[in-house]
């Protein structure tokens, strides 16, 4: 009896992942590499990207780091052009993003513009640079990291929620427009994920109350805890694999029951 094909294999595929120097992006990069993908990390912080690559290569995977500010279209186009000279890209994961806390009246124009440049324009820049290549090479997969903030009301997240709502809308638009080109486009909307950002936020804003605040933030999800980055990475792997070949134009909440069960 012959061996069955490994499920969710990305063997022989090249995956570009933005913001994979830490947190969710790093977890996705590790998971993709472990499933056979050749990972190309686009990251503002090159040292963090190189650390992710060292982890991946130490585990037997393949990864390279590329310094790139996703908010700068010329940098993005040049970085993708350099990658395209060497290989075909099959998968783009738009993950690089920044957070902001504040309601409308406490969100300055500079705050709003900063969030927009990275969380919206950054995703646009990468898709814009990649879409022609995917069309010319028979299709591919685009996966955008959104958030439950883009589709439900979260307190004090005005600019961030706005940006993630835009990500969801862009996902639907790209999925619809490029159906004839065999390009699938989906997005993932996590609730709170336990990353270094969360730990840093708690330490900065609640000194001496770290444990109490961690429990409070964890219990905001009906399931009673935050997600782990590897859990988001597992869903990302499925959506970018051939097993998800019939799925496009979908926003996947991974939220511990928040969207349907909260309150």
pTM: 0.92
Residues with active-site annotation? 160
* Structural domain boundaries in the chain: 14-191+228-249, 194-226
Topology at the third CATH level for domain 14-191+228-249? Rossmann fold (3.40.50)
In the Cβ-directed half-sphere of 108, how many Cα atoms lie within 13 Å?
A: 3
236 by Cβ neighbours in 10 Å (0-12 / 13-18 / 19+) ranks as buried
Model confidence over 51-87: pLDDT tens digits?
999 999 999 999 999 999 999 999 999 999 999 999 9
Question: What was the pLDDT predicted at 5?
Answer: 67
- The helix, strand and coil proportions of the chain, stated in percent and rounded to the nearest 5, come to 50, 15, 30
Q: How confident is the model at residue 201 (pLDDT cuts 50, 70, 90)?
A: confident
Name the H helices within the chain: 23-34, 46-58, 73-86, 109-115, 122-136, 158-177, 196-205, 210-219, 229-240, 258-261
155 — pLDDT class (breaks 50, 70, 90)? confident
- pLDDT tens for each residue of 18-43: 999 999 999 999 999 999 999 999 99
Q: Is the pLDDT of residue 2 over 60?
A: no
Residue 224 CA to chain centroid, in angstroms?
23
Average pLDDT value over all residues in the chain: 93
> Cβ(188)–Cβ(232) under 8 Å?
yes
- 138-161: b (≥16 Cβ within 10 Å) or e: eebbbbbbbbbbbebebeebbbbb
**Higher confidence at residue 197 or residue 187?**
187
Q: State the average pLDDT over residues 165-193.
A: 97
């Amino acid at each position: 009896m012959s061996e069955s094909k490994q499920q969710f294999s990305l063997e022989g595929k090249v995956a570009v992942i933005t913001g994979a120097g830490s947190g969710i992006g790093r977890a996705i990069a590790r998971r993709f590499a472990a499933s056979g993908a050749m990972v190309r990390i686009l990251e503002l912080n090159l040292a963090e990207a190189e650390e992710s690559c060292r982890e991946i290569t130490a585990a037997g995977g393949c990864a390279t780091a590329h310094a790139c500010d996703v908010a700068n279209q010329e940098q993005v186009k040049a970085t993708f052009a350099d990658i395209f000279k060497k290989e075909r890209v099959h998968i783009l994961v738009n993950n690089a993003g920044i957070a902001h806390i504040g309601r409308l009246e406490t969100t300055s124009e500079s705050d709003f513009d900063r969030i927009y440049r990275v969380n919206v324009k950054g995703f646009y820049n990468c898709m814009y640079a990649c879409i022609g290549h995917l069309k010319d090479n028979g299709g591919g997969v685009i996966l955008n990291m959104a958030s439950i903030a883009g589709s439900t009301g979260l307190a004090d997240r005005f600019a961030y929620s706005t940006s993630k709502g835009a990500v969801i809308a862009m996902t639907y638009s790209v999925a619809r427009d490029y159906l004839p080109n065999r390009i699938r486009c989906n997005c993932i909307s996590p609730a709170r994920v336990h990353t270094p950002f969360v730990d840093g936020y708690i330490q900065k804003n609640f000194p001496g109350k770290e444990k109490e605040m961690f429990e409070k933030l964890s219990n905001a999800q009906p399931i009673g805890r935050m997600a782990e980055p590897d859990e988001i990475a597992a869903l990302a792997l499925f959506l970018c694999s051939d097993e998800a070949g019939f799925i496009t134009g979908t926003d996947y909440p991974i939220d511990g029951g928040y969207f349907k069960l909260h309150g």
